[in-house]
A and B are shown apart, each in its own frame.
Chain A
Amino acid sequence: DTAVSQTPKYLVTQMGNDKSIKCEQNLGHDTMYWYKQDSKKFLKIMFSYNNKELIINETVPNRFSPKSPDKAHLNLHINSLELGDSAVYFCASSQWWTSGAGELFFGEGSRLTVL
């Protein structure tokens, strides 16, 4: 059983289209994240949810809208795709942490290519 699974793994689409990526974790964690990894491999946090509540929203354009129907699922919808949105998007989960740091478990990534 995959701990953090995200679909689809590959997305190729035209500029202006709308697309969604889904993520599910079966680790019983209460915190989930979306990260964007660009071509230079830098990991940038986009959103974080704890128990379905949005707790981190890092200056991401309004075209990106996360949704967490329950604490095991976190989806990402992107409207009006632009060339600069091409990247690998990673979903991750962790326990809620009060000291030290949450240890993140990542999905395999969803590679989005906007043409």
Chain B
Amino acid sequence: TQLLEQSPQFLSIQEGENLTVYCNSSSVFSSLQWYRQEPGEGPVLLVTVVTGGEVKKLKRLTFQFGDARKDSSLHITAAQPGDTGLYLCAGGALGGGNNRKLIWGLGTSLAVNP
């Protein structure tokens, strides 16, 4: 069974601090996605990484895919209250036939206090 472990589960920090969220697995994924979910809304895709070692930046957010495509990290620089939300990682799994699914982590709930 493919699993994605996210850590930390909860994070409460002050505005301006840096933080890193980790997403780890023993399985290899075809890609890794990061989503952010705000209360009362559905998850919204932030980024997809597909190549081992790939790094993508989205303003103050930096995403990295592990060389072996088993893990990923999300680093936020100078966090702001607007970054508050639930961050979810999801690994792409291509199985035989029509089997395509995303394997989801449990999420990291981030609160950035002014």
CB within 8 Å of B: which residues of A?
4, 40-45, 48, 50, 55-56, 90, 92, 97-109
Of the candidate stretches B13-21, B41-49, B75-83, the one touching chain A is: B41-49
**Interface contact B102-A41, CB-CB below 8 Å:** no
Task: Tell me the dominant secondary structure on chain B's binding face.
Answer: strand
Q: Which of B35, B42, B86, B92 contacts A97, CB < 8 Å?
A: B92
**Interface contact B45-A104, CB-CB below 8 Å:** yes
CB within 8 Å of A: which residues of B?
29-33, 35, 37, 40-45, 48, 50, 86, 88, 90-92, 94, 98-102, 104, 106-107, 109
Also in contact, A40 and B106, with CB within 8 A (given A55-B98, A100-B48, A101-B31): yes
Q: Which residues of the other chain, B, contact A102 by a CB distance below 8 angstroms?
A: 92, 100, 102
**Distance A32 CA – B94 CA, assembled complex (angstroms):** 17
**Interface contact B42-A106, CB-CB below 8 Å:** yes
Also in contact, A41 and B43, with CB within 8 A (given A55-B98, A99-B94, A102-B100): no
Q: Which residues of the other chain, A, contact B101 by a CB distance below 8 angstroms?
A: 45, 48, 56
Q: Which of A55, A56, A97, A104 contacts B43, CB < 8 Å?
A: A104
Q: Which of B40, B44, B109 contacts A41, CB < 8 Å?
A: B109
**Interface contact A108-B41, CB-CB below 8 Å:** yes
**Distance A106 CA – B37 CA, assembled complex (angstroms):** 10
Q: Which residues of the other chain, A, contact B107 by a CB distance below 8 angstroms?
A: 41-42
Q: Which of A92, A100, A107, A109 contacts B30, CB < 8 Å?
A: A100
**Interface contact B44-A106, CB-CB below 8 Å:** yes
Also in contact, A108 and B42, with CB within 8 A (given A41-B107, A41-B109, A43-B88): yes
**Interface contact B31-A100, CB-CB below 8 Å:** yes
